[in-house]
Structure 1
């Protein structure tokens, strides 16, 4: 087998270093079907190549064990649509909606009167803040990043796992912000989830033995911006990156015979860490 990256036989625009274990044709993450040993192409699984069906891989599966979908961008489109819908709602309602959904720790005053925070029991802010934007450049950058990072991960992980990765990354960013930032410091944006996708992309590329230099360079560049630009919640970026990387690692490196169990435990452990972090901070704030 030639280890040099070539182009997927079904998607000529995609380079890959993985080949079907039966016909030796190059296949990209979207075309990979998990088999008892390595990966097979959809044609071999369906018996279209003449090699006969593969009994161990009767149903096409992604590298993480998910099912292949006709539209590998569907979940990405839905998440992007939710973010855009909230942004247009903010444009229509002004700061009223922002005050109701943004993340801040403890009760504070606004132009519309006293507001309660996460410490007062408004846990939903940890999630809603991850879909909320105000500045046009903020949502533009995050949505472009989502459109670039989301589809390959959705295709490689499967829809359910991609949703879990995105939500846990967003919650991880919110949890670290809640823990470290000042109680009256507001925070909003999908940046935590985006950094989680960036970390997951690095994990996936390493698993597939792709060239990681572009994604590492992008990650370093974004971290430089995170810690040098003003008015950026670095806590959300770091929290999302850590959680997204950990969850993705558990998803793509889970043993095939215990894949579902390991993946569920990975997500449960990430969620537990988030809950504990939020609980500790809530106790600190009284």
Structure 2
């Protein structure tokens, strides 16, 4: 006979393997408040149960130490809005805007004197290409993935950490694409950041002792598509996945007394690696 699923006492539709260390009620990521040992539920925190501290001293925190917010989808909505706004702008302006935003190493532009690309000093392309899409199926798939993966991650990490994860993973994917793709091949889309979110989801589920099979199956399916279909930048997907996984691991496993140092230090370390990759490729293309 199978064990009955345990669900959060505040969200009966959400299975969980974590309980409040004080009252032992089951709690999901949205209800977890980081304590000196384990996690507490919002009720125990609000009353300062057994701590001798005021409620203010027990400000609700996410599993990664971020502030618990009323709308755990705000950053996800903002990222969706930026991507959609850029897509609409590209639709009306045309290829000239796409060409200006796309990640490209170094290529001759017949409409401009000389060459364009990251190796030509256009560093912004490493960031702008994360928000540019040309085909409706491309932005549709990426935005559905963002809407599905984003809110749980944002609720568990907090707004600032979730945004940092998205951006650093996207930059990591673009850096690897810049390093390994042909210099005149264009790359665009949020796929690198999305793969980083997939890796982060796996790390978070492992941290909370959730069933890993669904996310492993989803990741395997996406990797299968990445390496079997033409026209997909496997470099961006793989780079985003690795960087997102590393950043998420640093965020959810950081010790409480050194949480900020470890979390932001991990992000800084990944940015240094990304910068080194970009510099190496730039020297190579300009050599």
Fold agreement, TM-score > 0.5: yes
1:22 aligns with 2:22: yes
Give the superposition deviation at 1:13. 1.5
Q: Is 1:5–1:15's contact at 8 Å kept on the other side of the alignment?
A: yes
Q: 1:110 to 1:209 in 2, by over 3 A?
A: farther
Match of 1:231 in 2: 231
1:150 aligns with 2:150: yes
**Secondary structure of 1:55's aligned partner:** coil
1:72 aligns with 2:72: yes
Match of 1:199 in 2: 199
Match of 2:8 in 1: 8
CA distance in 1, matches of 2:32, 2:52: 13
Match of 2:63 in 1: 63
Q: Give deviations 1:207-235, integer Å, cap 9, x for gaps.
A: 00000000000000000000000100100
Q: 1:42 to 1:96 in 2, by over 3 A?
A: same
Match of 2:121 in 1: 121
Q: 1:6 to 1:111 in 2, by over 3 A?
A: farther
CA distance in 2, matches of 1:18, 1:110: 60
Match of 1:244 in 2: 244
Q: Aligned-pair RMSD on alpha carbons?
A: 1.7
Q: Is 1:200–1:248's contact at 8 Å kept on the other side of the alignment?
A: yes
Q: Is 1:169–1:192's contact at 8 Å kept on the other side of the alignment?
A: yes
1:158-169 paired onto structure 2 within 5 Å:
158-169=158-169
Match of 2:170 in 1: 170
1:249-264 paired onto structure 2 within 5 Å:
249-264=249-264
Structure 1: tracts of 5 or more residues without a match: none
Q: Is 1:62–1:158's contact at 8 Å kept on the other side of the alignment?
A: yes
Match of 1:188 in 2: 188
Aligned length in residues:
282
CA distance in 2, matches of 1:274, 1:4: 46
Q: Is 1:23–1:44's contact at 8 Å kept on the other side of the alignment?
A: yes
Q: Is 1:44–1:54's contact at 8 Å kept on the other side of the alignment?
A: no
Q: Is 1:6–1:16's contact at 8 Å kept on the other side of the alignment?
A: yes
Q: Is 1:21–1:40's contact at 8 Å kept on the other side of the alignment?
A: yes
Q: Which runs of 4+ in 1 moved over 3 A?
A: 51-57, 110-115
Give the superposition deviation at 1:17. 0.6
Q: Give deviations 1:32-75, integer Å, cap 9, x for gaps.
A: 00111110000000118xx4566396111111000100000000
